[in-house]
Amino acid sequence: MTESNNTRKRRSNRLPGERESAIISRSAAVMRRERYEQARESSTRSRSSKLTNAPVGKPGKSPASGSRGSSSSVSSRGHSTVHNNHKQREREVLLRLRIILISSIVLCLVILIRLMTGEPDDSAKADSSAVASIVLEEAQEEAVVPVPTAIPEQPEPVRTQAELYLEENAGGIPSRRVLEVDSILQEPELPTGCESVALTMALNALGYNLKKTTIADDYLVYSDYNLVLGYVGDPYTDDGAGVFPHGLTLTANRFLQTNGHSHVAYDISGTDFDDLLVYLAGGYPVIIWSTINYEPVLWSNDRYSYEGKDFRWYWNEHCIMLQGYDLEQGKCYILDPLKGEVEIAMEKIRNLYTEIGRYSVTIL
């Protein structure tokens, strides 16, 4: 059987001690094989001797006398010959090992002298590189990856200014707060532009004096098919669909950054309804998604994905602005682009907001 290249390479790259061990192993294997062959040859000669000394007669019959003694003498001579051959082989193997050991010591001394006397020549470099390669290869093969005893700590996610504000001011809010801002109706110019109008009222609550169509005309972010990324359709027509918080946040920041304003819009979707009141208490408007006329949600089968999250569209989608609240009366004050100023039970708007998916945007 022919040895593979990798096997020959590993044998040629062994260190002197490894070569010596390999030679001993091979010599032992050779000796075992030779002992087996000699014993088989002796057994064959013994059987031949029996056949030669047997008298002529019926086959299968052994001689009554003489043949057993003859077989024993042949077997004794065979064992003696095998024993002598083994002794000779052992002496030869030991002699070869002594020669290899002396050669290895001489080679190591030569390399050591060259290293001590100066820069080693190319052959010494090659020998050193070969030794280093073998050691490195074996170390990599024997290396065991340690099992971590503990799960490494994960870096904390970057927190937005809106999250930090909520954390710092969630201790308590006044029982009533209403932002001073005028209501704007979306019709007739923007029959499906409730999101743009709700954003316009939120910006005006912070002191900006925007017209109804400014956002829709110049800053609204559009998308061909994904309502999460931008407005789908045309807000100036009855066929417009709408936009979810992420796209409206992009729209708000486009306006703020383009005009060099310091405010920043944040998509705070997922925030509990009661926590939204903390932003209102601080004077910051909140935009939420509800339904037209605050009726039950009419879900569609259309779903949209963004950053691993699933957003489901609903037929009576509507966007409004939270203007204020009254904890004692359990009411919320809403600026509705379709109805104007609306007072609604806090429990009802909380339930709608939660069922839809807690979609919300604020501007700080």
Domain range summary for the chain, segments of one domain joined by +:
5-53+66-142, 162-363
pLDDT of the residue at 315: 95
Tokens 């089968």, residue? 301
pLDDT of the residue at 106: 78
| Amino acid residing at 163 | E
Burial-class residue 146 by CB neighbours within 10 Å (0-12, 13-18, 19+). exposed
| Amino acid residing at 65 | S
pLDDT of the residue at 91: 77
pTM for this entry: 0.59
Q: Pairing between strand 331-336 and 299-306? A: unpaired
CB 253 within 8 A of CB 160: no
The torsion angles phi and psi of 252, rounded to 5 degrees, stand at: -60, -45
pLDDT of the residue at 40: 54
In angstroms, the CA 23 to CA 224 distance is: 76
pLDDT of the residue at 16: 45
| Amino acid residing at 364 | L
pLDDT of the residue at 358: 97
Torsion of CA 74, 79, 83, 84, to 10 degrees: 0
CATH number for the domain running over 162-363:
3.90.70.10
CA distances from 10 to 129, 217, 315 (A): 15, 75, 72
* Low-confidence stretches of the chain (pLDDT beneath 50): 1-30, 32, 36, 47, 49-79, 82, 120, 135-136, 139, 142-149
Question: Residue 295, Cβ neighbours under 10 Å: how many?
Answer: 11
